[in-house]
Structure 1
Amino acid sequence: MAHINAHQPLLLRICRMYCPDADDRQDLYQEMVLQLWRAYPRYEARASFSTWLYRIALNIAISDLRQRTRQPTSQRLGSMLPEVAAPPDLGPDADDLGLLHRAIARLSDVEKAFVLLYLEERTYEEMADILGITQNNVRVKMHRIQEKLRHLLTQLA
C-alpha cells in the first residue's frame, strides 16, 4: 500500500479533474483507494505500477462520473453548477488558466483522461498503455482534443 500512498497526488489530480464538488472528490478518492487496495493482490507487474494505478483510477473516476450523471436532476443540480476555477494566487495568468479549466470541464470524460495524462507529461507510449489503445490512436485523439479545446477557448473568451 506504500505504492498507493506515493501516488496520492496523482489520485487527487484525477479526482479534481472529474469532480467539481469537494465532497464528491473525497468520496471518489476513498473509492479509488479501496478499489486499488482490493486489486493490489492481482497486480502482476506486466506494466509499471503507475500505469496500472492510472488505469484503475481513471476507470473508477469515469464510472463514478457516469453514475453521478444518471442520478435524478434534483440530486445532481449541485454538481452541474460549479465550473473549474483558477486558484486565486496565480497572478497575471489566472484569467487564462481559469479559461482553460472551464474549457477542459466541457470535454467528455474520456477526453479529460487524455488531457490529464498530457498534463502529467506522459509519453504517447505510456498513454497508450494506460488507455489500452495504440500510440497512433493516441496521437489522433490528442490532435482532435487540442482542436476542440482551441474551439472552446475561442467560444469562452
Structure 2
Amino acid sequence: MNETSFLEMIREHQKIIHKVCHLYRDSIHDREDLFQEIVYQLWKSAGTFRGEAKASTWIYRISLNTAIASFRRKQPALEYTPLIPDSADELRDADDTQREHQLFVLLKQLDESERAIVALYFEDMSYKQIAEVTGLTENHVGVKLNRIKNKLKNLQKKAQYGTE
C-alpha cells in the first residue's frame, strides 16, 4: 500500500480511530497521542493488510489492540469538568454532553475487551462483524453483549444511588 492510498484510507475511517481514542483516553492530549500511535501502528501493519476483510474491520482490530496495549502501560485518571451553560441551547447541549460524559465514565469501568465489544456495537456492527474483529464466535458476542448491558445497568444504578 502506498502512502497516498494509506492516507486516504485514514481520512475515510478516521471516525473509527477517534471513537476508540475517546473510549480509552480522557484528556484531549492523551487522545491525540493515542490517535498518532494508532496511525503509526496501522502504517507499520499496512503491508499485512490483504483486503480479505473490510478496511474498517482491519482498522478496528489494529486500533483496539493498540489502545488496549497502551492502556495497560498507562492507566488514565478519570477527569470531570462541570459545564455551566449560558442559554437554553447551551443547556440542551450541556445535557447531551453530560449524558455522553456519564456514558463514557460508565464505559471506562468495563474491562478492555468489554469496551472493545461495546465500541463495535455502537458502530451498528452485526454480531458476525464484531466476531470478525474480536476473534470471538457470534454466539459468544451475543452472550458478552448481554452481560455487558447488565453490568452497565448495575454500574449506572450504583452511580445514581451512590452505593458500592
TM-score of the two chains, using structure 1 as the length reference: 0.85
Tell me the residue number matched to 1:49.
55
1:107 aligned to 2:110? yes
Q: What aligned pairs does 1:52-71 form with structure 2 within 5 A after superposition?
A: 52-69=58-75
Tell me the residue number matched to 2:129.
126
Alignment coverage as a number of residue pairs: 148
Task: Say whether the 8 Å CA contact 1:20–1:83 is kept in structure 2.
Answer: no
1:7 aligned to 2:13? yes
Which has the higher Rg, Structure 1 or Structure 2?
A: 2
Q: What aligned pairs does 1:132-143 form with structure 2 within 5 A after superposition?
A: 132-143=135-146
CA distance in 1, matches of 2:81, 2:156: 14
Identity, in percent, stands at: 34
Task: Say whether the 8 Å CA contact 1:85–1:101 is kept in structure 2.
Answer: no
1:80 aligned to 2:77? yes
The CA deviation at 1:101 is 2.5
The answer for unaligned runs of 5 or more in structure 1 is 70-78
Residue 37 of structure 2, aligned match among 23, 31, 40: 31
1:100-127 superposed Cα distances (whole Å, 9 cap, x missing partner): 2221121111111111111111111100
CA distance in 1, matches of 2:126, 2:80: 29
1:120-156 superposed Cα distances (whole Å, 9 cap, x missing partner): 1111110000001100010010010000000001111
1:90 aligned to 2:93? yes
Counterparts in 2 of 1:66 and 1:88: CA distance versus 1, 3 Å: farther
Secondary structure (helix, strand or coil) at the match of 1:107 reads coil
Letter in 2 for 1:132: G
Cα RMSD (Å) of the superposition?
A: 2.2
CA distance in 2, matches of 1:94, 1:110: 25
The answer for unaligned runs of 5 or more in structure 2 is 1-5, 84-89
TM-score of the two chains, using structure 2 as the length reference: 0.81
